Amino acid sequence: MVDIAGLCCTCAGTMMVAASANTLNQVFEIKNDAKMKRTMRRPLPSGRISPAHAAMWATSVGVAGTALLAWKANGLAAGLAASNLILYAFVYTPLKQIHPVNTWVGAVVGAIPPLLGWAAASSELSLNAMILPAALYYWQIPHFMALAYLCRNDYLAGGYRMFSFADPTGKRTAWVSLRNCLYMLPLGFFAYNWGLTSEWFSLEASLLTLGLTIGALSFVLEPTPKTARRMFYGSLLYLPAFMAGLLLHRLPNEQKEHNVTQTSEITGILYGAEQQDEERARQKREDRKPSRIHSRPPVAYASVAPFPFLPVPIYVSTQGHEL
């Protein structure tokens, strides 16, 4: 069963927080974006929107999105959204002009949203929740390495420090892309082994990753704009196919509920057996206790009849003395 209202509120809250982070990013990079062909027509560099207007919009929509997640989802999802906004706008954005490690920090930012969705649905984070964030994290590296290689001169004009700047031949950039593609190969098996999907997803995910890996390998063998563009387009196809396979081959909730029911039945049987053992032990303890009901001595019966002329002896309890 899907909570449609909860799903819509989670998507809306996530979208609002993402809009806030992207807006703050563009507020902080107005001058840089104005120097790049790819970004100079954005609303802020082109003057269509004022920085004050954009900052007001970013603040209001960010607070509203976080509040919506806290209200309709849970505090964990809202905390992930707020932390991701801070990481994107106030860590990743300035780091782009300082050090090439910004690409890996940005990959963390991109991996958190599916984790947010898991937290909203289950109110917890488990090992199973790491499959899709891991896929997004490793996927972003070859995707962005190809983009940074193709737009190297544009990024240089904007004042951004990218990994490809110190790699004029493109070899190191290509090797980084290939290495992260290899990291994605076992994710399909992990999803099956951890009980998230059927075995078919393990096969399909491996084939998808293998295709992207071949594109990265061609980029390694021949680091040119043509091979980089081919790997970039392959990454655009990979992600929706991977997500669709994860949804198509996921294990149904009915199977999980059946497993929970079986576990409950076994627990009930064990509990009943334990209760029976305790009852038997209690009965044995009762049997060992001396009886409090004492029989009349047989002499008393004999003294009543047939000898009525004899006095009847008087007895006390077995622990007393005969009078």
> What is the per-residue pLDDT across 270-282, written as a single tens digit (0 to 9) for each?
556 667 767 777 7
Check whether 123 has a pLDDT greater than 50. yes
CATH 1.20.120 describes domain 126-255 = yes
Task: For residues 297-306, give the mean pLDDT.
Answer: 47
| CB within 8 Å of 111: residues ≥ 6 apart | 133, 134, 136, 137, 140
Distance CA 80, CA 38 (A): 30
Q: What per-residue confidence (pLDDT) applies to 303?
A: 45
1-125 and 126-255: identical CATH topology? no
| CB within 8 Å of 250: residues ≥ 6 apart | 196, 197, 201
Task: For residues 229-237, give the mean pLDDT.
Answer: 95
* Partner residues linked to 197 by β-bridges: 250
- CA angle (241 as vertex; 239, 245 as ends), nearest 5: 120
> pLDDT band at 1, cuts 50/70/90?
confident
Contacts 24+ apart (CB under 8 A), 207-212: 208/238, 208/241, 208/242, 208/245, 209/181, 209/184, 209/185, 209/238, 210/185, 211/238, 212/142, 212/181, 212/184, 212/238
| CB within 8 Å of 51: residues ≥ 6 apart | 27, 30, 44
Superfamily of domain 1-125: UbiA prenyltransferase (1.10.357.140)
> What is the per-residue pLDDT across 156-199, written as a single tens digit (0 to 9) for each?
888 999 888 888 889 999 999 999 999 999 999 999 999 999 99
Check whether 321 has a pLDDT greater than 60. no
Who wins on pLDDT, 264 or 11? 11
Check whether 302 has a pLDDT greater than 90. no
Check whether 320 has a pLDDT greater than 90. no
Check whether 304 has a pLDDT greater than 70. no
In this structure, what are the phi and psi dihedrals at residue 197, rounded to the nearest 5 degrees? -135, 175
Average pLDDT of the chain? 85
For residue 212, what are its two tokens? 């992207």
Task: For residues 256-277, give the mean pLDDT.
Answer: 57
Give the chain as a 3 state SS string.
Answer: CCCHHHHHHHHHHHHHHHHHHHHHHHHHCHHHHHCCCCCCCCCCCCCCCCHHHHHHHHHHHHHHHHHHHHHHCCHHHHHHHHHHHHHHHHHHHHHCCCCCCHHHHHHHHHHHHHHHHHHHHHCCCCHHHHHHHHHHHHHHHHHHHHHHHHCHHHHHHHCCCCHHHHCCCCHHHHHHHHHHHHHCCCHHHHHHHCCCECHHHHHHHHHHHHHHHHHHHHHHHCCCHHHHHHHHHHHHHHHHHHHHHHHHCECCHHHHHHHHHHHHHHHHHHHHHHHHHHHHHHHHHHHHCCCCCCCCCHHHHHHHCCCCCCCCCCCCCCCCCCC
Asked if 178 and 217 count as a contact pair (C-beta separation under 8 A), the reply is yes
> pLDDT band at 46, cuts 50/70/90?
very high
Task: For residues 216-244, give the mean pLDDT.
Answer: 95
> pLDDT band at 292, cuts 50/70/90?
low
Check whether 85 has a pLDDT greater than 70. yes
For the chain, domain boundaries: 1-125, 126-255
pTM recorded for the entire structure = 0.75
